[in-house]
Chains A and B, each alone.
Chain A
Amino acid sequence: MTTAMLVSIIMTLIAASTPLLLASLGELVAEKSGVLNLGVEGMMLCGAVAGFAVAFSSGSMALGLLAAILAGVAAAMVFAVLALSLTANQVATGLALTIFGIGASSLIGAGFVGRTVQRLGPIFPAALSEHPVLRIVFGQDVVVYLSLALVAGVSYFLRRTRAGLILRAVGENDASAHAIGYPVVAIRYAAVAFGGALAGLGGAYFSLALTPMWAERLTAGRGWIALALVVFSAWKPGRLLLGAYLFGAVMTLELQAKAAGVSWLAPEVLAMAPYLATIAVLTMMSLGRKTGRLDAPACLGKPFTAS
């Protein structure tokens, strides 16, 4: 294998991993506050279509990314009102959000199917970003660097800051946090909004950087894989980074095998790989410990009412 090929594989891997990393990092924060939002796939699709529509219409990538974040937050707020304010069942509400995201994005995107935009480009000058080897480090777009910075930021926030401690307290024991005087529901709103913002951004990475075009159900179940990654990470940002890049590698397999002309393995079998890998990873995680929810925030998925 030549160096050029290896570099190209690594570049593909990073690109494939980034949306997973973003979406799962957002969900990790929401889950740390005790909220299980199964609507990641729906929020990603909202972000993907909003980002594409705005970037295509305005010609501005920055506006597109901003719109994607806002769309993700808006979708997350629908979830928050139902699941947090009206204490609806979180599993059902999350599913509804995914079904809604699929429908809304298909409807909004109907006029954009098959259109393309200029791919989100690298931020460093060409001398660095087009260097045959160093482009692994310097040839990435702004979202990749942002996603890595966010991993560090979230990790620091959760472990070292007072606000992070409060967020974790709300997720571990909402009744006590409430008794001490912390606004449980407001904190969960903020965590869910953060999750929506990152899911929206992750979705837009599909439509603005990976493909870069709009197609129905563009994210193809990646939102669900992001949810599984949070379990895999044992709710730790560092392990989440590892997991996201591992899955990015599995997804790159399909492309690499096609490029290498592997014909003995049916393309459908390769397309199954990420989903089978998810099940395998969830199974292995459980084999490694005695109870399945050992690391999960204690109040995950439980509705909270003040009285």
Chain B
Amino acid sequence: MLEWRRRREPSLPMLVLSPLIAIGLTMLTGMIVFTAIGYDGFHAVESIFLTPFLEPQRWADIGVKGAPLVMIALGLAIGFRANVWNIGAEGQYVMGAIAGTGVALLTYDMTGWWILPAMVLAGILGGMAWAAIPALLRVKLQVSEILTSLMLTYVAVQFLYFLVRGPWKDPGGFNFPQTRMFTADQTLPTVIEGSLVHLGIPVALLLAVVAWLLMEKTTAGYAVKVVGLAPAAARHGGFSAARTTWATMLLSGGLAGLAGLFEAAGPFGQLTPQFPVGYGFTAIIVAFLGRLHPLGIVFGGIVLAGTYVGGEIAQSTVRLPQAATGLFQAMLLFMLLAIDVLVRWQIGWKRRAA
């Protein structure tokens, strides 16, 4: 008879293959489900998962959408490794953008090379500050960071609405709820002349390499992994859980804030109520699809960015509603979690009792 057996250690080939199997299963399920509810399922899946990668003119857009996803997911994944569940990256992303925009509005009539770096610094600090609240509550009072970080996302979004409708409203903006447009010195430069490809994309890739070095080559990275896998052993070995919580929350908050600032100073060029698009939540899927590994996250970010780009394509080619993108993203995570069982377990013939 066949039976499930727990593997002594996780299967490395399955660990690498599982995201690919999950993507395959999501495509198959998506085709069936969307055909069943009356859409052109085949072309919907083709538009979302294949077209963005097969048409080179879409690649810049994948990069633009992938950069914030990768940046946020890198920070989240390090936290998840340490069992720190920061799920409020969306709020930290918004607060980073708000802090950076604050600097932009203060320096509106100035020029100088230092303005953008100052905005970047403010963005990182804004995200960190927002993540510091759940970190403090968890370390000092054992309050679940899951709930507090998420609640703070709603607060951050309302704060954004308040600013763009009230004190930060563009005086020359015909009463639209939006801030002034950023000046040339406040805008993220593009790396390829005349394209959408901004500085955030190479920065995201660089950060992935840095995160990989941090996790694999430093004691700090090792401490994070030990705290997550064996809290008791970590205490014994002198690795502080409190310090790890602080470090991972501030790191993930700072990266989310940086991503938010890049988005504001890059593709948006101002703040509007449409600014929060859910990258902070999608980044959670990116982190899991990348197996919480920095280099895997680059792959995950490209796939999920592809679904955003592909979702827009599918809206025009097969009239698929925008919401379908989110559904495909969630299905992807479901499939991945289901496939994960193969990493930890194997199917084999039942052995006779010895």
Question: How far, in angstroms, from A104 to B331 measured CA to CA in the complex?
Answer: 10
* The residue from B143, B158, B281, B338 contacting A271, defined by CB atoms under 8 A apart: B158
Q: List residues of B (299-324) whose CB comes within 8 Å of A's CBs.
A: 321-324
Known: A89-B337, A268-B162. Contact between A275 and B142, CB under 8 A?
no
Known interface pairs A224-B147, A282-B144, A287-B141; A93-B337 also in contact (CB < 8 Å): yes
Name A's interface SS: helix
- Chain A residue contacts of B141, Cβ below 8 A: 283, 286-287, 292
Q: Is the interface of B mostly helix, strand, loop or mixed?
A: helix
Instruction: Indicate whether B151 reaches chain A with its CB closer than 8 angstroms.
Output: yes
A221 on the B face (CB < 8 A): yes
Q: Answer whether A92 and B337 are a contact pair too, CB < 8 Å, given A110-B321, A291-B142.
A: yes
Beta-carbon contact of B337 and A82 below 8 Å: yes
Q: Are A92 and B288 in contact (CB under 8 A)?
A: yes
Q: Which residue of A lies closest to B327 (CB)?
A: A103
Collect the chain A residues with CB atoms within 8 Å of residue B327's CB.
100, 103-104, 107
On chain B, the residues within 8 Å of A82 by CB distance are: 334, 337-338
A104-B323, A228-B147 known, 15 other contacts, Cβ within 8 Å: A87-B344, A91-B85, A92-B288, A95-B281, A99-B329, A107-B327, A220-B154, A221-B154, A228-B151, A266-B166, A272-B154, A275-B152, A279-B137, A282-B137, A282-B144
> A95–B284 Cα gap in the complex (Å)?
9
Q: Are A286 and B155 in contact (CB under 8 A)?
A: no
Contact with B along A104-146 (1 / 0, CB 8 A): 1011001000000000000000000000000000000000000
Question: At the interface, yes or no: B16 with Cβ under 8 Å from chain A?
Answer: no
B151 touches A107 (CB 8 A): no
Taking residues whose C-beta sits less than 8 angstroms from the other chain, chain B's interface range is 35 or more
Min distance, Cβ B274 to any Cβ of chain A, angstroms: 14
Question: Closest residue of chain B to A305, judged by CB?
Answer: B6
Q: Does A218 contact B (CB under 8 A)?
A: no
Q: Is A227 an interface residue (CB 8 A)?
A: yes
How far, in angstroms, from A220 to B151 measured CA to CA in the complex? 11
Does A50 interact with chain B (Cβ within 8 Å)? no
- Whether A186 sits at the interface, judged by CB under 8 Å, is no
Measured CB to CB, the nearest residue on chain B to A288 is B141
Residue B176 at the chain A interface, CB threshold 8 Å: no
Whether B341 and A282, one on each chain, are in contact in the complex, defined by CB atoms closer than 8 angstroms, is no
Known contacts: A279-B152, A282-B143. The answer to whether A100 contacts B323 by CB under 8 A is: no
Is the beta-carbon distance between A268 and B161 smaller than 8 angstroms?
Answer: yes
Asked if B148 is at the interface (CB within 8 A of a chain A CB), the reply is: yes
A231 and B148 alpha carbons, distance in the complex (Å): 12
- With a CB–CB cut-off of 8 A, which chain A residues contact B284? 92, 95, 99
For residue A12, CB closer than 8 A to chain B, the reply is no
A87 to B281 CA separation, bound complex (whole angstroms) = 23
Binary contact track A276-296/B, C-beta < 8 Å → 1, others 0: 101100110111000111000
Q: Can you report 6 A-B residue pairs in the complex whose CB atoms are below 8 A from each other?
A: A88-B341, A100-B334, A107-B321, A275-B154, A278-B151, A279-B147
- Determine if A307 is an interface residue (Cβ-Cβ < 8 Å): yes
- A100 and B141 CA atoms in complex are apart in Å by 32
* Nearest CB in chain B to that of A107: its residue: B323
| Interface hits, A198-230 → B, CB 8 Å | 216, 220-221, 224-225, 227-228
A185 within 8 A of B: no
Say yes or no for B43: interface residue by CB 8 A criterion.
no
Q: Complex Cα distance A272/B334, Å? A: 31
